[in-house]
Structure 1
Amino acid sequence: MPKLKHIMFSWLYLDKLLKGEKSLTIRAKKPNLKPGDLALVHSQGMILGKVRILSVQAKRLKDLGEEEAAQEGFQSVDQLKEALKKHYPHLKDSSYVYLIKFEWVERYDSPLADGEHAWPYALTPAEVAQLALSSGIELAEEDREILSLLAKEKSIRRAAVKLGGLSLRPLVRGVVRRAALELEKKGLLQRAASS
């Protein structure tokens, strides 16, 4: 199975992402993405869902049009170019940018938040990962991979680094929290007694 990729978005685009008004992102650097890749969408420390990459195309900034502006969630191409130049101050009209078109595969009803709640269980996240893997609960393949890594590394931080960097800690936390909730629903995990 191909490795799950990640796309990070500025907080400025969070509302457009949540409303589904964005089906394109434009980046100044060539992305490590290709058509068919699945990627988790991150913004503001939250994982909003999963997208499929439809296309990746290089284009000069000056050649962007109204269609790209609309897909990016802007009213006009001038607004789009202004936002890009604010985000990437080094861009010139002759600079190449990379257009990444995507479609939502899964949008989480409640985005998975980073550090939204303290860990409420007596077991550590690594122990919960191990329990989830051995319990037979239904897990997506990418969740299974992340939980296996967490169980092996015994640390959310180390698992995130192995996945590609500390910025992926919210991803690891979100996966283990979902697994914990599923285990709790099935009566396989209890919350720690509150003092």
Structure 2
Amino acid sequence: MVQIRRFILIDNVYKSKILKGKKTSTIRFGNYEAKPGSEVYLAITPSDSVIAKIKITDIKKKRVKELTLEDARKDGFKELNELINALNKIYGTLHGDDEVTIIEFDVIEKFEEAIPLKWLKALNYRKPEEIAKLYVENDLKESADVDLIIKRIYSKGLKSAVRKYGPKKVKDSLLKAYHKLYDEGKI
């Protein structure tokens, strides 16, 4: 069994449909577990970039032969055979008795700027903007470089900071800011 706790990965080809509300489920081969009502991050592959936060609304177990047109449409397909073909492409040939898990969700927050999943993990699943906001609003000081970069994230966004200072410096500054917030008891 695979438990979904913090994030779920979905192929980049489905990004647009998800963000437009045309794909509100994902169907996985095998036994997946998640709690309806739980909020998780949605990361797209192959870049492993987080593009949204979703709320899991339902989990269903079915056999492949029990999948319906409604299941296909919620998963962003027009026809059931399109869904089956996509599943076969991803998982290899599935048979009628193979079990799948249908994970239904609502997008509750779209991110204007994708966040690298590994950064989110390193920040204990806190968004970079949240770290920057807490750091600036609590008037914390780490070093001149960290302060400058974190203030850039706070005022102009993550993408702007990465363009100006590079991903490594931004990531390192976020980690230092996160640890400073933790040490000060702010998170």
Q: Tell me the TM-score normalized by structure 2.
A: 0.63
How far residue 176 of structure 1 moved from its aligned partner, in angstroms, is: 6.0
Asked whether the equivalents of residues 62 and 93 of structure 1 are also in contact (C-alpha less than 8 Å), the reply is yes
C-alpha distance 52-183 of structure 1, shift in aligned 2 (>3 A): closer
CA distance in 2: counterparts of 1:61 and 1:4, whole angstroms: 25
Task: Tell me which of 54, 57, 62 is aligned to 1:59.
Answer: 62
SS in structure 1 at match of 2:149: coil
Classify 1:36/1:109 alpha carbon distance in 2 versus 1 (closer, same or farther; 3 Å): same
User: What is the CA–CA distance in structure 1 between the aligned matches of 2:89 and 2:119, rounded to whole Å?
Assistant: 27
Cα displacement (A) at 1:33: 0.8
Q: Which has the higher strand share?
A: 2
- Gaps of at least 5 residues in structure 2 are 141-146, 151-163, 166-187
Residue 129 (structure 2) aligns with: 178
Alignment correspondent of 1:106 = 109
Say how many residue pairs are matched: 138
2:72 counterpart of 1:72: no
Equivalent-residue separation in structure 2 for 1:32 and 1:55 (angstroms): 10
Instruction: Give matches, 1:39-188, under 5 Å.
Output: 39-43=40-44, 44-112=47-115, 114=116, 168-172=117-121, 175=126, 177-179=128-130, 181-182=132-133
Query: Cα deviations across residues 124-166 of structure 1 (Å, max 9, x unaligned)?
Result: xxxxxxxxxxxxxxxxxxxxxxxxxxxxxxxxxxxxxxxxxxx
Unaligned 5+ segments in structure 1 are 115-167
Root-mean-square deviation (Å): 2.7
Q: Secondary structure at the match of 2:148?
A: coil
Per-residue CA shift, 1:150-190, capped at 9, x if unaligned? xxxxxxxxxxxxxxxxxx51423674632454368657521
* Equivalent residue letter for 1:54: T
Paired position in structure 1 for 2:11? 10
2:142 is the counterpart of 1:191:
no
Q: CA 1:185/1:20 → structure 2, altered by over 3 Å: closer, same or farther?
A: farther
Fraction of identical pairs, as percent: 27
Query: Aligned pair in 2 of structure 1 residues 67, 90: CA closer, same or farther (>3 Å)?
Result: same
